[in-house]
Structure 1
Amino acid sequence: MSPCCNWMWGLSRRLVLSGRCQLSARHNVDVHRSFSSVPHPPRVCVVGSGPAGFYTAQHLLKHHTEVLVDIYEKLPVPFGLVRFGVAPDHPEVKNVINTFTQTAQSERCGFFGNVTIGNDVTVEELQAAYHAVVLSYGAEDKRELGIPGEDLPGVYAARDFVGWYNGLPYNRHLNPDLSSDTAIILGQGNVALDVARILLSPIELLKKTDITQCALDALIQSHVRRVLLIGRRGPLQVAFTIKELREMLHLPGTRPRLDPNDYQGLGDITKDLPRPRKRLTELLVKSALEEPTEKDATRWSVAEREWSLRFFRSPIEILPSKDGNKAAGVRLSVTRIEGTGDNSIAVPTGQVEDVSGGLVLSSIGYKSIPISQAVPFLPKQGVIPNSMGRVKESPGLYCSGWVKRGPVGVITTTMSDGFETAQAILEDMKSGNLNCSESRPGAAAIQKLLSLKQIQPISFSDWEKIDAVETARGLEIGKPREKILDPQEMLSVVSN
């Protein structure tokens, strides 16, 4: 978000919420009830309410009977990538929200939405108020392609495209151009397959999900009928998982176009691969080289949409249309592999190839950004330097999730990662490396700072009001929810 947008968003937060200050006494002094049996219970705050933040808080609360945990989130709504990153047609993945809700409703847990750490409150101010601070704010930025034409209209980061159809406020005005019949996705990970699936899915299926109405309306008018997924390495290095591949192979109204030449000889290699990679490669080989079942053959013969995988290609330029006003294709460098397995690298051969398509989506990964000059950060890796979640040379400061290890893995990976960081905090409390003997004011101190700036944090019960409105709106049109896209409207719901 640009500084201008940050300023305007901050203004709207203050204007809408200024009338609530007298109504929100539950936020003042201390959100935690007076139940603790110790005079100075350990106070921990978590920055970020995505899976990493909630799993860290969950483990702390479960394994320490006195600890008080506060979760801070810059948006008025919780759950991070579970709400804004998980594909709308994967509702089962979002069931973890039930567990996170139980954590947030604990009398030893406080939730403070609508608070931007690094702007409204500094990390140093959190460190003065809490015994431990955990940074779990994820990967908020996208990786750039760094090639000519990247800024042409029609070129989008997959991260922004996902945010658009999932209702991330920052992406609600994206308005992608879907007038081309061919979409080119640069990347072959799960996000790339999610985007391809959403572009090609029958509208009747999407109507039953929590995809935003603006995205649904745009997809109804979409001309995209073909999706090409480009990878710089080969079939043995694709980053998507077998679940996502199966979904693409069985997507109604859509057929795969897999070049048999790409998979010749791979069958002999699979026996030595790790099991997940082995099963994935076997499915790719089977789909490309074996005759389809009668059912699949019939389904694919009448399919009006298709997708394909193109290997050993790396983008070197986005090609403009004749008038130069938008993207019309991608120039690709033909590559070859050096090394083996996941450690292999793609090197250019000197050959180039052009592919046509008016919609280009870059799915080459997310990246974290530094939150404060007081927090060490490795810009090349996009992570906070740490050991088991302990931020190096920063006693009392911890990290978990993507900002800790990089933007890789699924939600279960993040769960283990959050538990590891929480365990490090518990061990430091027990050993005395984390001094919890002196009293810390916790949320009471932060509330005073926010009050001076006329910023009223959003509690979890406030979020439940937003949740109820979204669910009701969805019910009216046969969807599980219709997300509110404008943060100011979210705050209006809370203030009513």
Structure 2
Amino acid sequence: MTLNIAIIGAGPAGYYTAEAALKHWGGNARIDIIDRLPTPYGLIRAGVAPDHQSIKAVSRRYETTNQGQGVRFVGNVEIGRDISIAELTSIYDAVVLSVGAPHDKPIGIPGDDLPGVLGSAAFVGWYNGHPDFADLDVPLSHHGAAIIGNGNVAIDCARILAKTCDELETSDIAQHAVDELRQSAVRDIHIVGRRGPHQASFTVKEAGELGHLERAQPLVRPGDLPPVEEDAALDPGHRKMVGHIRSFAAVPRGDKPVTIHFEFYRRPVAVEGNGKAERLIVETTRLEDGKAVGTGELHAIPCGLVVACIGYRTATIEGVPYDTGLGRFAGDPQGRIFPGLYASGWARRGPSGTIGTNRPDGFSVVDAIAADVPQGKGGDAAATLDALLASRGVKPTGFSHWQAIDAAEVSRARPGAPREKFISVSQMLGLSS
């Protein structure tokens, strides 16, 4: 008997779960991939840096999944607004929440609500053309910007601020971001981390790219580097990344107009300013048993923009148990939340790992569904969903609608760029109607 599965979220976790379901049940599975936007691919489209096109190429794999027998993309449908979890679990044999972790964790320091303080999901969404953030106010009139965090997202944000518009021409960065960055006064970009180079989670590629920017030079204080012999304890990849950091410390300041300052051993304690962000106050730290401990020594980093790259949280959904401390849905290690409801990806384990890390998650949750639901209850879940949405005046978009949006974005791209995204849902719906 056919198994009906609804996957909520058309990002990497959702598509890897669909891929796993097709491999497990083949033609005996009917899968609806539901997303609140008319466009699929989630983090690939709106989270991956626009100048990293090779990473975005994984969407071709998801396209193949979407064209598989029994798979539908159902866009422009929002859980909680258009349909409830209780209704979905009554229609489908299994519902999988693959909604990611789209909300920024707050910094939690005085002044973090001042204008000019942004989370990385918002800032990245702005330059990637996500409809939720297209109208974001990103102040770029101050010479300083502070990026809080020592991971790849922090480097992405710093690199986008540091690149020339010519360097971004072959990316799919949103045109409104290019226009703002063209007028940017930012010349000092500070990447702030509580611990040192050995504890940073940059990858080799991300760190290395900073040494090849046209108008920007990365600077590291030599005193922040641990003894070189301690690098031997690192794994090869991390050791190579630290090698890039050491090379930045060895190069004297040149004449490039933009400087990327690595502020290791600095803990943010406050954002200050007269009605807006004007400086980030940081405390010098030292390591004790691997933990950053404040020394009481304070410094002010002049900046009009503060971007917090410190983690994300999954949005709550009415009727779904939630672990507030971990910022994700509450469930067992295989993704079970309660009978008929599951989670995969960041919604299951929290925001960690790479895009490919979501693939094992998909297979794990499908194994759990197979153990819990040996056979489907029958019926045409897709038709039932469509009828319910139609009765409420909801008009979903399908994969062919996305293909029309995709073709239009490619055709309107500036020279050298892969596409120019539509930045409002109404634009997308107008095109696909």
TM-score range, shorter chain: over 0.9
Structure-1 separation of matches of 2:294 and 2:226: 22
Which residue of the partner structure matches residue 417 of structure 1?
361
- 1:227 correspondence with 2:165: no
Which residue of the partner structure matches residue 398 of structure 1?
342
Q: How does 1:284-363 map to 2 (within 5 A)?
A: 284-289=245-250, 301-320=254-273, 324-339=274-289, 344-363=290-309
Structure-1 separation of matches of 2:123 and 2:12: 21
Which residue of the partner structure matches residue 479 of structure 1?
417
Structure-2 separation of matches of 1:274 and 1:421: 31
Letter in 1 for 2:293: V
Which residue of the partner structure matches residue 370 of structure 1?
316
Deviation at 1:301? 3.0
Letter in 1 for 2:241: L
Which residue of the partner structure matches residue 84 of structure 2?
122
Structure 1 SS opposite 2:271: strand
Structure 2 SS opposite 1:203: coil
Structure 1 SS opposite 2:132: helix
Structure-1 separation of matches of 2:368 and 2:381: 20
Structure 2 SS opposite 1:69: strand
Deviation at 1:228? 0.6
Which residue of the partner structure matches residue 59 of structure 1?
20
Structure-2 separation of matches of 1:354 and 1:390: 44
Contact 2:224 2:265 in 1 (8 A): no
Superimposed CA distance per residue, residues 300-339 of structure 1 (whole angstroms, 9 cap, x where no aligned partner): 734221102111211111110xxx1321101112222222
Letter in 1 for 2:231: T
Structure 2 SS opposite 1:151: coil
Structure-2 separation of matches of 1:407 and 1:156: 18
Contact 1:367 1:407 in 2 (8 A): yes
Structure-1 separation of matches of 2:351 and 2:19: 21
Structure-2 separation of matches of 1:248 and 1:493: 39
Which residue of the partner structure matches residue 381 of structure 1?
326
Q: How does 1:72-151 map to 2 (within 5 A)?
A: 72-151=34-113
Contact 2:149 2:308 in 1 (8 A): yes
- 1:490 correspondence with 2:412: no
Deviation at 1:409? 1.2
Contact 2:19 2:65 in 1 (8 A): yes
Deviation at 1:384? 1.8
**TM-score (normalised: structure 1):** 0.84
Structure-2 separation of matches of 1:84 and 1:174: 15
Deviation at 1:262? 0.8
Structure-1 separation of matches of 2:412 and 2:82: 32
Letter in 1 for 2:402: W
Deviation at 1:220? 0.6
Letter in 2 for 1:461: S
Structure-1 separation of matches of 2:137 and 2:412: 22
Superimposed CA distance per residue, residues 7-62 of structure 1 (whole angstroms, 9 cap, x where no aligned partner): xxxxxxxxxxxxxxxxxxxxxxxxxxxxxxxxx30111100000000011011112
Structure-1 separation of matches of 2:81 and 2:291: 40
Deviation at 1:101? 0.6
Contact 1:71 1:112 in 2 (8 A): yes
Contact 1:330 1:357 in 2 (8 A): yes
Structure 2 SS opposite 1:268: helix
Deviation at 1:97? 0.8
Deviation at 1:287? 3.6
Contact 2:47 2:125 in 1 (8 A): yes
Would the alpha carbon gap of residues 239 and 76 (structure 1) be closer, same or farther in structure 2, given more than 3 Å must change? Answer: same
Which stretches of structure 1, 4 residues or more, deviate above 4 A after TM superposition?
none
Deviation at 1:450? 0.7
Structure 2 SS opposite 1:170: coil
Superimposed CA distance per residue, residues 45-82 of structure 1 (whole angstroms, 9 cap, x where no aligned partner): 10000000001101111232211111000011110000
Q: Which has the larger radius of gyration?
A: 1
Structure-2 separation of matches of 1:228 and 1:326: 18
Structure-1 separation of matches of 2:57 and 2:343: 24
- Same amino acid, percent of matched pairs: 39
> Of the candidates 395, 408, 433, which is equivalent to residue 469 of structure 1?
408
Structure 2 SS opposite 1:205: coil
Deviation at 1:264? 4.1
Structure-2 separation of matches of 1:330 and 1:118: 38
Letter in 1 for 2:281: R
Structure-1 separation of matches of 2:211 and 2:121: 23
Higher helix share: 1
Structure-1 separation of matches of 2:119 and 2:271: 13
Deviation at 1:186? 1.1
Structure-2 separation of matches of 1:414 and 1:350: 41
Two-structure CA RMSD over aligned residues (Å): 1.6
Structure-2 separation of matches of 1:338 and 1:405: 28
> Of the candidates 12, 31, 45, which is equivalent to residue 6 of structure 2?
45
Structure-1 separation of matches of 2:261 and 2:367: 44
